Chain A
Amino acid sequence: MSLRAHVVVRRGSLTLDVEVAVGDGEVLAVLGPNGAGKSTLLRVLAGLLLPDGGQVLVDGHRVWDAAGRHVPAHRRSLGMVFQDHLLFPHLSITDNVAFGLRSRGAKRAAARAAAAPWLDRVGLAGLGDRRPGELSGGQAQRAALARALVGDPRVLLLDEPLSALDARTRLTVRAELRRHLTDYAGSAVLVTHDPVDAMALADRVVVVEDGRVVQTGTPAEIARRPRTDYVARLVGLVLLPGTGTGAQVALDGGGAVAVAEEVAGPVFVAVRPESVALYLARPAGSPRNVWPLRLVAATPHGSVVRCDLAGEVPLTADVTATSFAELGLAPGADVWASVKAGEVAVYTR
């Protein structure tokens, strides 16, 4: 593991207490809502903020510990990409990219020469003489990435690198970032509140809520088996905690869900909204999972309408716009919702 850290920061009502470990060539995404302490964690890893406790190790060397050791940011081998790129407005793009080499002792000409291939790699060849203000948001973020990577740092820290970009630019820059992260040999930590970034870019995901790690796993595990409401909502699942007995789960909030496998003890039931079917009358053929619910909100989502349902088992259903119209639904309507037992994911808590 080339980056290993236990970070404790107390700031007013928030206590951040998080452990992370990232291997060489690995990308770790720190996923969490705003105010969860993600950026604070990143600033501690960079050495810009002194934590209240814990330790930070890079390649086994302590760069911060509670005993008083502190290697300041400028003496660590790191690169950082900020949400709003923070390119120096008074320097050309080439000089921005060459900045890290210059401040680490390279001569001006040598630094500029070393920066040029990086401009090519991020697709900014020929724009080196421009000022940051003359670039588009996507171009600026590419330049910021080149600036962070140019010294071949051991640790790469990315603080919401895509969230300031418009939706279309985000797609292309995300794809490029993925390519650069694949080539990158050091340890990368990506902080984001967007699950798509985490899923697309990371090898492993750490979910942080209220300053604590609530779940760790590969993107696929996180997407399939979320462990908190926040993650479930992010990945588009409805999460229902309960207790399993045989092929039946008694939900903590009341009601029961039939599942396709035998389970015992505390479990999560995860339901995909598109697997929920809605009817105006109790469906015939008596499926085992069927509940009378009330439609509380309906919002169009592309070609489907997302229906929030309240009642014994609170659910979300995605129905096609056509069937939504055919059912003649409106908020406040009483509906029957059903889910096949085989469509329900169940896993231990």
Chain B
Amino acid sequence: MSRAGRDGGVPAPLLVPALAAVAFLVLPLVGLVVRAPWSEIGPQLTRPGVGEALRLSLLSATLATAVSLLLGVPLAWVLARSAVRGRSLLRALVTVPLVLPPVVGGVALFLVLGRQGIVGRWLFEATGFALPFTTAAVVVAETFVAMPFLVISVEGALRAADARFEDAAATLGADRWTTFRRVTLPLVAPGIAAGAVLCWARALGEFGATITFAGNFPGTTQTMPLAVYLALQRDPDAAIVLSLVLLVVSLATLLLLRGRWLGRGVTSG
């Protein structure tokens, strides 16, 4: 396979499973493309509800990413730079949502933020507002699941960045906040961008926590993954078209990630 001078022979015990793995990963996507009702794509995409689901997905994933950036970058800084005690425990807690089944996350959110929840009840009594089954709940569910990706990625970038630049800034009269804005943030910008893209992609594909905590109401909480799942029950062609749309969006994300940030982010950190 290799065209370089080195003998690129692959032993059969490795080659066969490797090919099987490639087939396993690629064939379903090929199937999606092959089985797509290409002639119906136009009408399918313009059906009522499709545009709405896509718009809701993009909006909620973007909002979830924005919230994650706002809260996650400071958290990553605390994990990477500060001297607070119990930092490793904090990091472990923060990364739990990474390994937690999203549906469990949804249940947990419901128990805390639901109308009868620990915080939700207080919120409901004070304002009459109940979070579950609203678009805001979609954003909350997606943020819960996706933010750890951003935190881990930004923390790694912060650790890889040379902290002595921050010393240099201090000797030039910059307080810690100025240093963070004018030195640290630009230095780790590639890491933050990579983390944000990962976070956004994860939020876009969120299913379990969303359907548990936010429900499945077209127009308010029905995101693309939910729409795909439901469409598959009654109209498989619609499901295929919606899946293709998500595939295209994911591929575009991956290309952006590889071309702009991932290559550099990985080698530098």
Contacts and interface: CB of A to CB of B under 8 A. Distances in A.
A73 B187 contact: no
Sorted from nearest, which 6 A-B pairs have the closest CB atoms?
A100-B172, A103-B174, A80-B171, A73-B170, A90-B186, A86-B168
A72 interface: yes
A215 B171 CA distance: 29
Interface string B169-201: 111111110110011001101000000000000
B187 A90 contact: yes
B171 A103 contact: no
Interface of B: 162, 164-165, 167-176, 178-179, 182-183, 186-187, 189
A107 interface: no
A82 interface: yes
A79 interface: yes
A73 B170 CA distance: 6
- For chain A, what secondary structure do more than half of its interface residues adopt (helix, strand, loop), or is it mixed? mixed
A104 B173 contact: yes
Given A89-B187, A90-B186, A103-B182, A74 B168 contact: no
Contacts of B174: 74, 99, 103
A151 interface: yes
Contact of A80 (B168, B178, B187): B168
Contacts of B171: 46, 48, 73-74, 78-80, 148, 157
Contacts of B175: 72, 74, 103
Interface of A: 43, 46-48, 72-75, 78-80, 82, 86, 88-91, 99-100, 102-104, 147-148, 151, 157
B203 to A, nearest CB: 28
Contacts of B162: 86
A151 B172 CA distance: 8
Nearest to B174: A103
A88 B170 contact: no
A88 B165 contact: yes
A89 to B, nearest CB: 7
A103 B178 contact: yes
Contacts of A90: 186-187, 189
Contacts of B176: 74
Contacts of A82: 164, 168
A48 B173 contact: no
Contacts of A86: 162, 164-165, 167-168
Contact of A103 (B165, B167, B172, B189): B172
A151 B170 contact: no
